[in-house]
């Protein structure tokens, strides 16, 4: 009888350590497991998770004609982003990769003078972002200290409801070369200072990976 009781006590204690004040049990567990989730890429490489535009194919439609509504209701006109690199990421609060919010914030603080990070919360993958825009902003600020811009929740996958920004990012007829839509939460697109889409990274590539930071130098 004692052994099951000891195991139960250990499990409860472990759960109490994992559970974080402003997160659900699932969110706390996923945050704890995030380093293990990313271990595969570190051990075996992630070249298959990266698409590049080495020839710098110029987009057919200007990136700077786009716009998006921020989660506070203000409209962000992409024409104001000229001269800076832009990293666009579809995000979610209940995903195994939600820990990338922390890495994105580090990237924002390190390269903020030359890089704009735009988070696009989306509920497209396994309904892992069910919260309202207000709740999403609170979650990101309290748990990950996010200070980079978040847009209103929208759809990022191919289809009638796809946000215009993601229509541009995932259709070569607009961006010039790439037809890859997000494959999961925290897929990333990097646009250079001239409005050229230069890279796509899946969720398996950390925002702090040299494949990303090397493009920022």
Active site residue ranges: 95
**Distance set, CA 159 to CA 51, 105, 128, 134, 166 (Å):** 22, 30, 19, 26, 10
Contact present, 129 and 94 (Cβ < 8 Å): yes
Q: Among residues 203, 195, 147, which one has the least CA distance to residue 175?
A: 195
């Amino acid at each position: 009888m004692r052994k099951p009781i000891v195991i139960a006590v250990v499990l409860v204690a472990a759960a109490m350590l994992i559970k974080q004040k402003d997160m659900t049990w699932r969110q706390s567990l996923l945050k704890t497991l995030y380093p293990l989730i990313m271990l595969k890429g570190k051990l075996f490489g992630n070249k298959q998770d990266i698409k590049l535009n080495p020839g710098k194919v110029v987009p057919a439609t200007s990136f700077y004609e786009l716009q998006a509504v921020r989660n506070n209701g203000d409209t962000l006109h992409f024409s104001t982003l000229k001269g800076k690199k832009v990293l666009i990421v579809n995000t979610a609060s209940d995903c195994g990769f939600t820990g990338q919010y922390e890495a994105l914030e580090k990237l924002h603080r390190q390269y903020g003078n030359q890089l704009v990070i735009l988070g696009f919360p989306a509920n497209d993958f396994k309904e892992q972002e069910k919260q309202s825009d207000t709740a999403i902003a609170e979650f990101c600020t309290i748990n990950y200290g996010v200070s980079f811009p978040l847009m209103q929740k929208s759809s990022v996958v191919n289809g009638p409801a796809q946000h215009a920004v993601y229509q541009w990012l995932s259709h070569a007829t607009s961006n010039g070369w790439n037809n890859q839509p997000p494959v999961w939460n925290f897929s990333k697109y990097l646009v250079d200072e001239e409005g050229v889409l230069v890279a796509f990274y899946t969720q398996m590539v950390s925002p702090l990976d040299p494949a990303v930071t090397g493009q920022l130098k």
